[in-house]
Amino acid sequence: MKRRTLLTATAASAGGALFSPGVLAEDKYPGKLITWICPYAAGGNADSRSRQVARLMQATLGQTIIIDNKAGGGGNIGTDAIAKAKPDGYTIGMGNFAPLAVNHALFKKLNFDPLNDIVPIMLIERGPLILMVRQESPYKTVKDVVAAAKAKQGGLSYASGGIGGSHHLSGALFEHAAGIDLIHAPYKSGAAGAQDLMGGQVDMMFEQMYAAMPSVKGGRLRALAITSKTRSPLLPDLPTMGEAGFPAVEVLNWQGIVGPKGLPAEVIRILNAAGNKALQDPELRAKMLEQGNEIAGGTPEQFAALIKAESPRWGKVVRDAKVEPE
């Protein structure tokens, strides 16, 4: 029976076959409710995506998946809870850009090792950011911003949703690449920063595309460039930061399914297959694409390779910019 279950899981992982409750024997995984830890508060993007993917996965797995929000510490509290969970597959969670690739350099001490205490299961998505200014701003291009910043070093400001997040690190990377000095204005959330940008309290902001789109489309904010390597089909006339002369400013915020170290290979394969199946759902795909995100999926090894590559890159940005946590 163990061998048959393993072969079934392997085949589904390779071919994306749909699991049904009848495929998995009652005494095999998953045999009970699964807890999905989200390291961020309810109502945010990580929370909503967790719920969307979990709902589809539970239909495939034949077991309920509940979302447990453990916010705080820049994602560290929830990620640490995932790392400390029993590695039986009944506690998994959302693994995000900051706690897995940034916070090891940002915080003096983490209670978990992102590369060794967390097991990647499947990357869900990657999303670019948009450099934007208020509609009345005199800056029409990225070069306009750079010229103004060089004329008055420390005279321009940019908002972020908090120290060490993708908003902040995009700005720090831009400063380094352009050789300019900007004032960083951290807010409690990206929405609060964008509100002050529209009000004229700050000059610019790198905002995640899904959050920026309503204000850009509504004419309240002007988009100058996108941080992806290629242009977005949602804003085909918007140049990339590379096209604007700063190819180093390539930033994709990402998140995926992870579990604790020691998770059995069979369980990883089952969850990976269910996750990949979820990403084929037309409604979910439409929501992700409407936000300007890249739908990912793929193998645990591919997700692990992304984390391994991103960690030293962002560690260097944090150290070069002398970023310190609040």
User: Are residues 175 and 315 both part of a single domain?
Assistant: no
Query: Is beta strand 65-69 parallel, antiparallel or unpaired with respect to 91-96?
Result: unpaired
User: Are residues 180 and 136 both part of a single domain?
Assistant: yes
Mean pLDDT of the chain: 90
pLDDT, one tens digit per residue, over 255-267 is 999 999 999 999 9
Q: Which domain holds residue 120?
A: 2-126+254-320
User: Are residues 114 and 16 both part of a single domain?
Assistant: yes
Confidence of residue 27 (pLDDT cuts 50, 70, 90): low
Estimate the share of the chain in helix, then strand, then coil, as percent rounded to the nearest 5. Answer: 45, 20, 40
Strand segments, DSSP code E, in 90-228 are 91-96, 118-134, 157-160, 183-186, 204-208, 221-226
Neighbours of 237 (CB within 10 A): 6
Q: Has residue 211 been placed in a domain?
A: yes
Q: Has residue 220 been placed in a domain?
A: yes
Residue 197, classed as helix, strand or coil, is helix
pLDDT, one tens digit per residue, over 259-290 is 999 999 999 999 999 999 999 999 999 999 99
Confidence of residue 4 (pLDDT cuts 50, 70, 90): very low
Q: Is the pLDDT of residue 9 over 60?
A: no
Q: What is the CATH number of the domain that holds 164?
A: 3.40.190.10
* Mean pLDDT, rounded, for 63-72: 96
Neighbours of 299 (CB within 10 A): 18
Confidence of residue 206 (pLDDT cuts 50, 70, 90): very high
Q: How many domains does the chain have?
A: 2
Please say whether the beta carbons of 228 and 137 come within 8 A.
no
User: Are residues 108 and 132 both part of a single domain?
Assistant: no
Q: What is the CATH number of the domain that holds 304?
A: 3.40.190.150
Please say whether the beta carbons of 238 and 231 come within 8 A.
yes
* Mean pLDDT, rounded, for 125-152: 96
Q: Has residue 87 been placed in a domain?
A: yes
pLDDT, one tens digit per residue, over 104-129 is 999 988 999 999 999 999 999 999 99
- 252 forms bridges with which residues in the sheet? 128
